[in-house]
Structure 1
Amino acid sequence: MEEGLVANQLELPSELEWIHDVFHVSMLRRYRSNPTHVVPVEEIEVRPDLTFEEELVQILDREVNVLRRKSIPLVKVLWQNHSSEEATWEPEETMRQQDFHLF
């Protein structure tokens, strides 16, 4: 990895050669090696615009966020290729619209 003032150039594997290899420093974080973090590139379908679709695996929990004039039901979502520590809280209505088969 070459370092600059505001950007870093990464050495990417050959199967990612089509991805631009320079990233702004705000997009990068120090990495601590962990063998459980290895995800083969073949398992993730990256679109030409460098986006990919997260796949919902399981709803782990539910709660209601109470605001002054309304309540927002939330669900804790486990995503494919992510650990339970990386689960996120999402609006239940949004998840119902996208992944209705889990409700």
Structure 2
Amino acid sequence: MLRACVIDLGVRWEQYLPLVEFAYNNSFQTSIQMAPFEALYGRRCRSPIGWLEVGERKLLGPELVQDATEKIHMIRQKMLTAQSRQKSYADNRRRDLEFQVGDHVFLKVSPTKGVMRFGKKGKLSPRYIRPFEILRSKDVASVKVLWRNHTSEEVTWEAEDEMRTKHPHLFDM
């Protein structure tokens, strides 16, 4: 929705952000079968267009708590249904990745709180680092290691289980 507004409104799109937020909060969401505003406040938003509606009931005390509890239960059920539908959709389209010798891959690096990596700290540190070439297929439980400050001629083969124990951050995927 925001992308469409940016394209349509051009460089002054941020002036219309409150209207976009209002439209989003009052748009029907398939996952919860209602608008976010209705889910949060238990009633539809009374925009100027809806002010002419008559006969809204008032909830007080225990009725309000019971109504809110019922809505929360209903929303949770609908969220579970949507989650299940999305999971089955993703599972049907998921495929295992297979790499060949000579392919280039990026190494995923998990950000560690308070640790400086690659010149950046925390959230700003890169999630993936440079492309590495796959040199050999792994049939044996060993890994080829290019140590920091060494040339490619000085690579060594190390036992994978020992490397996992000493350097678990290199294996986080």
- Into which bin does the TM-score normalised by the smaller protein fall? 0.3 to 0.5
Return the structure number with greater helix share: 2
Return the structure number with greater strand share: 1
TM-score by length of 1: 0.32
Higher relative contact order (CA 8 A, sep 6+): 1
In our comparison, the structure showing a higher alpha carbon Rg is: 2
